[in-house]
Amino acid sequence: MSPLSVEELFDHLGDSQLEQLVAAFYRGVRSDEILSPMYPADDLDGAEYRLKEFLVYRLGGPQRYLTERGHPALRMRHAPFAIDQSARDRWMELMTAAMQEVELSDEIRQTLEPFFDQMATFLINR
Ligand code: HEM
């Protein structure tokens, strides 16, 4: 069986599983000593919503993110945050734990994990 493409993932995950994934990830962020200072303390729900809607769009679902936020330009949008190797690794650790917590299937993880991994490396800016 050939691996799923990134753009096929939304059909397998759906809105609610993505919502659970991102919620689990942000529960980790809240108490993380490296990442929590970077995120807007008064708008963590907003941050959660933006990441979730980005993933809906990028994984092949409805394109609401584009309408609401425009082109993702993620390198530019992350420029204000000092993302070094350890911040990148911590982000990946928390996302990996979140994928485990919500029990994503191996088939989905096989595609989703390398996607996150590569994107996180691409966002290193320090
Ligand atoms: C490498 C470690 C990373 C760090 C430290 C980091 C940190 C942040 C921070 C502090 C924000 C601002 C929160 C907000 O107000 O929205 C943000 C936004 C965002 N991040 Fe990351 N991020 C990382 C990796 C990633 C990855 C791998 C993705 C995609 C798979 C991603 C996607 C996003 C998106 C979509 C937004 C919201 C952009 C917007 O519409 O304004 N980030 N990130």
| CB within 8 Å of 118: residues ≥ 6 apart | none
Q: What is the pLDDT of residues 81-108, one digit of tens each?
A: 999 999 999 999 999 999 999 999 999 9
Ligand 1 atom 16: residue of nearest CA: 47
| CB within 8 Å of 81: residues ≥ 6 apart | 38, 87, 125
- 1 in any annotated domain: no
Q: What is the pLDDT of residues 60-70, one digit of tens each?
A: 999 999 999 99
- CATH code at 96? 1.10.490.10
- Per the structure, the complete domain to which residue 111 belongs is given by 6-122
* 78 within ligand 1 shell (Cβ under 6 A): yes
- How big is the CA angle at 57 (ends 51 and 63), to the nearest 5 degrees? 120
100: exposed, middle or buried (C-beta count within 10 Å: 0-12, 13-18, 19+)? exposed
Domains identified in the chain, total number:
1
- In this prediction, residue 2 carries a pLDDT of 86
How many helical (H) and strand (E) elements, i.e. helices and strands, does the chain have?
Answer: 6, 0
* 44 within ligand 1 shell (Cβ under 6 A): no
Is the predicted pLDDT of residue 6 greater than 90, yes or no?
Answer: yes
